[in-house]
């Protein structure tokens, strides 16, 4: 019963999310200047463990590690706030470059909730990522 109840409660909590936060629309993603940037609104944090970047187009990609953080949430998971910027380098990248970004945002405060992981694709010209092409 617990396996059924937990997903149900997560979906119900997301439906009742405070302040109408939309995890796909209210988190900004950009790919420019050799970096991927993800910007979170105030009172929202990102679970660092769920943050992933995968190259969807052809070539190979190296992503810098996430910035160090000493903050943790109530579940003990490391969290990030504000703008998260990751330097990228590529090799033989197809133009345009397409990345699949996975992140899990959580709203804060008394009605705070952690959303299920969100997957979004971001694209840009291969020239914005340094490396050998």
Residues near 21 by Cβ (< 8 Å), separated by ≥ 6? 41, 44, 105, 107
**pLDDT for the residue 1:** 55
Beta partners for residue 87, in sequence order: 35
**pLDDT for the residue 15:** 47
DSSP notation for 107-121: E-STT--BPPPEEEE
51-78 tens-digit pLDDT: 999 999 999 999 999 999 999 998 899 9
Beta partners for residue 72, in sequence order: 78
Residue found by looking up tokens 């992981």 in the block? 117
Topology (CATH level 3) of domain 2-132: Immunoglobulin-like (2.60.40)
Least confident of 6-20, 58-72, 75-89: 6-20
pTM (predicted TM-score): 0.83
Helices assigned H by DSSP within 16-111 = none
pLDDT band at 110 (very low <50, low <70, confident <90, very high): confident
Least confident of 1-5, 15-19, 23-27: 15-19
Q: What phi and psi, each to the nearest 5 degrees, are found at residue 10?
A: -65, -45
């Amino acid at each position: 019963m617990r396996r059924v109840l937990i997903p149900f409660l997560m979906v119900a909590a997301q439906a009742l999310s405070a302040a109408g936060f939309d995890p796909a629309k209210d988190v900004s993603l950009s790919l420019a200047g050799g970096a991927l940037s993800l910007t979170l609104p105030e009172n929202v944090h990102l679970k660092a463990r769920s943050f992933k970047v995968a190259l969807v187009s052809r070539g190979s990609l190296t992503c810098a590690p996430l910035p160090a953080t000493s903050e943790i949430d109530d579940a003990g998971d490391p969290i990030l706030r504000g703008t998260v910027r990751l330097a990228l380098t590529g090799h033989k990248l197809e133009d345009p470059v397409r990345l699949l970004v996975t992140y899990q945002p959580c709203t804060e405060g008394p009605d705070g909730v952690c959303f299920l992981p969100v997957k979004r694709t971001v694209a840009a010209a291969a020239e914005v990522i340094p490396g050998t092409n």
